[in-house]
Chain A
């Protein structure tokens, strides 16, 4: 259930291409003193040994480091890397990747930058999976797993995966688009070894194809089927039969077109489930109200292994008590589509002692958060989403809820909190009570809003976070912020890798503080803040270490961005235009720049200019 989790810091594998060309290594581990270009017998033995050893190295950070030791290690590491992660699909070409790594079994690719999720990027910008699919079909016919995030995937690509990779087992699509139920139909029908099909927050167009019926007959290897984001009716009877013939199924997340009555039937078929997405959690329109309702409580009680519960897309709160039997075992509960009150939440949450991950709507109010704080002592991740995402003076959750959580949930590591008002005091309290915080994302929905109690900017609150939370790697700021907040971040946010800024700061100094102060910064996304070309220049020393920089509606000019492009040849500097901007406008609407070994991409649409 994690979005944008980046647990590993790693020197980029793509930059190693550059550094290895310059590398001049004579020393291998053998101590034989032979010049390394002679592949003599002892070196060959060493490589074999190395190969066996490096097989055990799984972390990509460690692998990247190992590959830098010398050419021999580089070669062997490339041979033994079975899981390939590419954080920006444009940083390296499919050809280059497949040339270096020849035995890849799993590919993890990321495409568009995150702000594309919020309509800040025009459609058809890029991040097409197609060239990768084709390259891998040639290079890795044994490929088993593909994990894509924010990529454009077509029905043809899905067909390619199913037809050209005979042992294909796992497909995970997060925030992807470009395909529909027809593509899914082809994919599931041809992919006989399929174990995992996870569609998470992706846009699936409804071609009115009954893809569930297309799973092949006979016993299935399915372990995970997640389709809660698919906004189309599904053939329930076919799904029922599929679940019945999938004895290994552990994860099932239904979409909102599955009624609670249908859920019951599926749960009875699959009490072995560990992860369940309940679908609508309300009766279908057709269900007779007078009919005997199934024993939902018994169905939940039978699922003794259930640890992760989500769904509740159109919840009728009357049915909530059905989940009581599983509460005590739950480690993850996602109520972020359930518009329930504090009183409706309390009987549930008071039983969830083991809860570590909790996603919820702000409809539970501060009172609901207090109830969470009272029981969920093991909470690691909290996300509070707004029922009504607009700017307003009043909202149901505030600094009171945040304070309560900070006092009750001391082990908190990750928080995403949408609210209308927040005080510095509460944020400071959290910085002190929750020292393990790794991710702190606070979204005060009213732009430029100060501390309502003191009238001060929110500088001190965020300052305390970067000062006191020594493990912090991801930060999102909001509210009224002056350059001082960024000074704090630059001084103390030494481990920060991802920073999101919106409607903040007074001048170029703010951005300078961050670019000069945060050595681990990888992903920087900024919108509607008064930063200009001078600020951009101050990051020249660092841009090759970053995955990307996004700046939209700031004060950049075209010639300022051009300067950067000229100074840094391995940086792709994209200027993305909105409909009313002329190509030769000096004002830059959106800047998106990223390091790349390939130079300007060839698939850029008309509204993108690469400087």
Chain B
């Protein structure tokens, strides 16, 4: 069972038109050590309470042995469960790849596909309509990305955007509110992926990230092996660092770490709008 579990976690590969979906695994024991190793974490190692599943949902696992079977521990205050992620199933005609849901632990109150049973067009009401009711005098910006699966979520205080890296199948999420400059973001991104990259290169590497870590630097200045780009609210791809930080935060929808060698191949900016990014 456990090897099956590890295979599932690493198989969180967004693939074109492929429906990847982790079923509820009956019978996986709660909190086995093997699973704990495979849990993705954003915080420093040792903080067992914080779990970052691939799309950035924190869920606190509190073992509550009151009802042993068939029961999930009661969610914590900061638990972000629910099926908002099901909104990430693209509404588009051509179904976009989405990282599948990791709901194999019956005891973990993590997000579950299709639960609560709300159709996707009824989701995201919190973010869009809140704008309307909170600021009656200012016009609500027509949220063009209301149903965009890549739209950042403002849950509570954080502003989480997805970030993917070339060569790493598992996407992550970063909280942009936690940083106030490009430098800090760049460092965080570097740390975020270096461990994963190391694990990719040498599958036998396990445990803390100190060993065999190759720092990812230079994502902003074009000198490093990787470059950080982002997609803005108009769907254009831009280099990170060109606009003032606060403007970046208000328009960014998702981030990507690309191999610098690939940059020339990728169309930066939008051909529709004729927008060009000066490097």
Contacts and interface: CB of A to CB of B under 8 A. Distances in A.
Contacts of A387: 125-126, 129
Given A257-B142, A389-B116, 5 more contacts: A119-B114, A338-B129, A447-B115, A578-B21, A579-B20
A285 B143 CA distance: 11
B195 interface: no
A580 B8 CA distance: 7
A111 to B, nearest CB: 16
A392 B21 CA distance: 23
A290 interface: no
A342 to B, nearest CB: 12
Which of A201, A390, A581 neighbours the largest number of chain B CB atoms within 10 Å of its CB?
A390
Interface of A: 115, 117-120, 122-124, 175, 177-178, 180, 201, 203, 205, 229, 231, 257, 282-285, 287, 289, 314-318, 336-341, 344, 361, 385-393, 418, 443, 445-449, 480, 500, 502-503, 506, 527-528, 530, 552-553, 555, 578-581, 589, 607
A66 B141 CA distance: 58
Contact of B139 (A124, A282, A447): A282
Given A390-B82, A391-B75, A579 B120 contact: no
A393 B75 contact: yes
Contacts of A316: 132, 136, 140
B250 to A, nearest CB: 16
B17 A123 contact: yes
Contacts of B82: 388-392, 445
B56 to A, nearest CB: 13
A580 B81 contact: no
Contacts of B17: 123-124
B72 interface: yes
Contact of B122 (A231, A389, A579, A581): A389
Contacts of A385: 118, 122
A314 B140 contact: yes
Contacts of A283: 139
Nearest to A339: B129
B17 to A, nearest CB: 7
Nearest to B26: A555
A392 B75 CA distance: 7
A390 B70 contact: no
B118 A341 contact: no
B226 interface: no
Given A393-B75, A530-B26, A579-B20, A386 B129 contact: no
Interface of B: 7-8, 11, 15, 17-24, 26, 67, 70-72, 74-75, 77, 79-84, 86, 89, 91-95, 100, 109, 111-123, 125-126, 128-130, 132-133, 136, 139-143, 147
Nearest to A441: B117
Which of A317, A480, A580 neighbours the largest number of chain B CB atoms within 10 Å of its CB?
A580
Contacts of B114: 115, 118-120, 527
A480 B136 contact: no
B-side binding surface: helix, strand, loop or mixed?
A: loop
Contacts, number: 180
A589 B23 contact: yes
B142 A340 contact: no
B126 A317 contact: no
Nearest to B21: A578
A395 B80 CA distance: 14
A390 B55 CA distance: 15
Contacts of B70: 448, 506, 530
A337 B24 contact: no
Nearest to A283: B139
Nearest first, the 6 closest Cβ-Cβ pairs linking A and B are A390-B82, A205-B93, A118-B114, A339-B129, A122-B19, A579-B20
B190 to A, nearest CB: 31
Nearest to A125: B19
B115 A553 contact: no
B94 to A, nearest CB: 8
Given A203-B91, A341-B133, A480-B71, A580 B22 contact: yes
B182 to A, nearest CB: 30
Which of B20, B71, B77, B125 neighbours the largest number of chain A CB atoms within 10 Å of its CB?
B125
A317 B128 CA distance: 14
Contacts of B147: 231
A480 B69 CA distance: 12
